[in-house]
Homo-oligomer: A and B are copies of this chain.
Amino acid sequence: MNISIQSAIETRTSVNNFQPDRPLDDDAIATLVDLATKAPSAYNLQNWRFIAVRSEDAKARLKSAAFGQRKVGDASVAFIICGTLAAHGHLRTALKPSVEANIMDQRTVDAWVAQVTESHQDDPALQRDEAVRSASLAAMTLMLAAQGMGLGSCAMGGFDGAQVAREFGLATTELPVMIVAVGHPAVSNWPQKPRKPLPEVLAIV
């Protein structure tokens, strides 16, 4: 984990070819997810859940839901990263450790719960945006953490969400936002693809 943040960002590529049969142990998986949850989320909602798909059987089911993409099977672990809808209902619980640690007082928590409930409860589009946003922030953190551990990763959006939900028993409030495959890159992979020139994507005002 000693490579610099700049180096992790600059050297990360989307790995399509992984060395098969290189499982990750529970500790490595826990480290990756623990770091992923350090991502921010609105109100500290932590509206996410991670399913680490590692067994052959589970990988086969996920691969089928991901249109047969080989990397799901070859990667050490394929993480299903879910965003949670209707997360406002769980904010009080999510913030309890912050109250117990004397970081937040109960009055602030009560105010946040009232505010998020008012803005989210009747707005399913906002709930969905929030779920995609939080899960994506966590996914990016996980990919950079993997890079720091000498592993490669690939963010995947190509899968049948309904099939993933069915196969892995997701709650109706859980939206599978991304699959992130993590493992040991094989020798042959694309280098990082060039980006648009900066002036096309940046304005300073």
Measured CB to CB, the residues of A under 8 A from B are: 1-10, 12, 14, 26, 29-30, 33-35, 37-40, 42, 44, 46, 48-55, 58, 94-95, 97-98, 101, 103-104, 128-130, 132-133, 136-137, 139-141, 143-145, 147-148, 154-155, 157-158, 168, 177-178, 190-196, 198, 201-205
A158 to chain B, nearest CB (A): 8
Report how far A46 CA is from B97 CA in the complex, Å.
Answer: 37
In the complex, the answer to whether A193 meets B103 with C-beta atoms within 8 Å is yes
In the complex, the answer to whether A195 meets B37 with C-beta atoms within 8 Å is yes
In the complex, the answer to whether A38 meets B10 with C-beta atoms within 8 Å is yes
Q: Which single residue of chain B is at the shortest CB-CB distance from A197? A: B97
Q: Which single residue of chain B is at the shortest CB-CB distance from A125? A: B128
Q: Which of B29, B46, B136, B147 touches A196 (beta carbons < 8 Å)? A: B46
In the complex, the answer to whether B1 meets A5 with C-beta atoms within 8 Å is yes
In the complex, the answer to whether B6 meets A148 with C-beta atoms within 8 Å is yes
Q: Given A8-B5, A29-B202, A103-B190 in contact, is the A155-B137 Cβ separation under 8 Å?
A: yes
Q: Which of B42, B46, B201 touches A50 (beta carbons < 8 Å)? A: B201
A189 to chain B, nearest CB (A): 11
A82 to chain B, nearest CB (A): 9
In the complex, the answer to whether A145 meets B26 with C-beta atoms within 8 Å is no
In the complex, the answer to whether A30 meets B195 with C-beta atoms within 8 Å is no
Q: Which of B4, B10, B54, B133 touches A4 (beta carbons < 8 Å)? A: B4
In the complex, the answer to whether A133 meets B157 with C-beta atoms within 8 Å is yes
Q: Which single residue of chain B is at the shortest CB-CB distance from A196? A: B46
